């Protein structure tokens, strides 16, 4: 029997391998466990503030999960490792997104005093003068469009990275990237529960060309979570409400690392992710310290993910001259 094995370098080769060894590869288990921990955390966090789900608006999410699960099954049982790897990555990231956002909602509903004054003071202390930056940016509409599109393209970046890594057979990098994204996202959400904030708000009406930031648009959502008026989850309209640290910055930094495994895409891919990071304070409504903290989270998340997902050497089997 032949099966597909991915060597250390991440390239794809067909080599004989016993089926038992193939099934014993549990390098994706850490990501599944992290998703399970997020689900459990949500169930615990919403005990006092019960959330319900709009069943009709949950249909698209359920259909998407079933389709990805079906693609994963087809890939595994038809010996198509690229399909299986891509479907698994999309399934894990979709589950992470769904339960990560609702966990952030549950924590926001329980959070205490807002940290906006402290975060704004920290920005001033390190020299971020946002009124000046916004006024200068408002005078350059092409730059606004470039940065705005880069910020709102993070999901597209994720799709490109997953499709490219799985299509090229870079399974180790893909596995590490997904695990690092879920791990750092989980940590970010937990920290945000302790440091709730509305975000670095600016009134778009004061500017000619600047778009409203996500933080500006989400004010009502955060207020509804905090005052108890919003307890029905619309799974078609889930919004990220984390301010500190910025997961947008963390995920873009992880993509910079992942693009490095694809020489032909490394240059444009990294430039794309860097533009996203630069755009995050303005179009995400983040404080500068949100972005700095988000960037600091990426390297340890990647290192931890590499260790969690590395191949374990099988235990030696008893043989001649070895004790059983």
Alpha-carbon gap, residue 288 to 280, rounded angstroms = 9
pLDDT band at 50 (very low <50, low <70, confident <90, very high): confident
Which tokens is 154 given?
């993070």
Comparing 45-49, 51-55, 83-87, 233-237, the range with the smallest average pLDDT is 45-49
Query: Measured between alpha carbons, how far is residue 146 from residues 136, 151, 264 in Å?
Result: 15, 9, 22
Query: Measured between alpha carbons, how far is residue 190 from residues 108, 124, 132, 194, 265 in Å?
Result: 10, 25, 32, 7, 33
Contact 165, 173 (CB under 8 A): yes
Mean pLDDT of 46-60: 89
Helix 288-309 to helix 247-259 angle (10° resolution) is: 50
What per-residue confidence (pLDDT) applies to 134? 95
pLDDT band at 49 (very low <50, low <70, confident <90, very high): confident
CB contact set of 319 (below 8 Å; sequence gap of 6+)? none
Tell me: pLDDT of 26 over 90. Answer: no
pLDDT band at 25 (very low <50, low <70, confident <90, very high): low
Across the chain, mean pLDDT equals 89
Mean pLDDT of 192-219: 93
pLDDT in tens, 153-181: 999 999 999 999 999 999 999 999 999 99
What per-residue confidence (pLDDT) applies to 313? 56
Alpha-carbon gap, residue 276 to 274, rounded angstroms = 5
pLDDT band at 299 (very low <50, low <70, confident <90, very high): very high
Cα 81 from chain centroid (whole Å): 23
Tell me: pLDDT of 248 over 80. Answer: yes
pLDDT band at 21 (very low <50, low <70, confident <90, very high): very low
- Spell out the long-range contacts of 10-14 with Cβ–Cβ below 8 A and sequence spacing 24 or more: 10/169, 10/170, 10/171, 10/172, 10/173, 10/261, 11/169, 11/170, 12/81, 12/82, 12/169, 12/171
What per-residue confidence (pLDDT) applies to 238? 86
Residue 78's Cβ-count burial label (10 Å; 0-12, 13-18, 19+) is exposed
What per-residue confidence (pLDDT) applies to 42? 93
pLDDT in tens, 59-118: 999 999 999 999 999 999 999 999 999 999 999 999 999 999 999 999 999 888 999 999
What per-residue confidence (pLDDT) applies to 1? 43
Of 11-20, 45-54, 222-231, which one has max mean pLDDT?
222-231
pLDDT band at 7 (very low <50, low <70, confident <90, very high): very low
Tell me: pLDDT of 288 over 70. Answer: yes
Alpha-carbon gap, residue 240 to 197, rounded angstroms = 12
Mean pLDDT of 105-132: 93
Tell me: pLDDT of 225 over 50. Answer: yes
What per-residue confidence (pLDDT) applies to 111? 85
pLDDT band at 14 (very low <50, low <70, confident <90, very high): very low
Tell me: pLDDT of 135 over 50. Answer: yes
């Amino acid at each position: 029997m032949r099966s597909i094995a991915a060597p250390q370098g991440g390239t794809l080769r067909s080599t004989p391998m016993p089926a038992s060894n193939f099934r014993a590869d549990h390098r994706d288990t850490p990501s599944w466990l992290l998703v399970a921990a997020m689900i459990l955390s949500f169930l615990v966090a919403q005990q006092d503030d019960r959330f319900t789900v709009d069943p009709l608006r949950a249909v698209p999410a359920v259909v998407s999960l079933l389709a990805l699960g079906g693609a994963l099954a087809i890939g595994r049982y038809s010996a198509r490792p690229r399909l299986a790897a891509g479907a698994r990555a999309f399934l894990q990231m979709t589950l992470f997104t769904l339960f990560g956002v609702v966990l952030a909602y549950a924590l926001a509903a329980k959070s205490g005093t807002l940290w906006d004054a402290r975060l704004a003071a920290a920005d001033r202390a390190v020299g971020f003068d946002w009124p000046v930056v916004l006024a200068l940016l408002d005078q350059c509409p092409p730059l606004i469009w470039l940065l705005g599109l880069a910020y709102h393209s993070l999901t597209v970046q994720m799709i490109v990275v997953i499709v490219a890594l799985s299509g090229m057979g870079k399974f180790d990098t893909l596995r590490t990237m997904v695990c690092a994204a879920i791990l750092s996202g989980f940590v970010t959400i937990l920290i945000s529960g302790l440091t709730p904030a509305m975000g670095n708000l600016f009134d778009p009406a004061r500017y000619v060309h600047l778009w409203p930031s996500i933080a500006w648009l989400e004010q009502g959502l955060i207020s509804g979570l905090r005052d108890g008026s919003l307890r029905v989850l619309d799974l078609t309209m889930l919004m990220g409400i984390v301010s500190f640290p910025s997961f947008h910055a963390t995920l873009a930094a992880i993509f910079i690392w992942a693009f490095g495994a694809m020489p032909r895409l490394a240059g444009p891919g990294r430039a794309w992710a860097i533009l996203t990071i630069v755009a995050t304070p303005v179009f995400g409504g983040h404080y500068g310290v949100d972005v700095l903290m988000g960037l600091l989270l990426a390297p340890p998340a990647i290192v931890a993910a590499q260790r969690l997902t590395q191949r374990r050497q099988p235990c030696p089997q008893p043989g001649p001259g070895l004790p059983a």
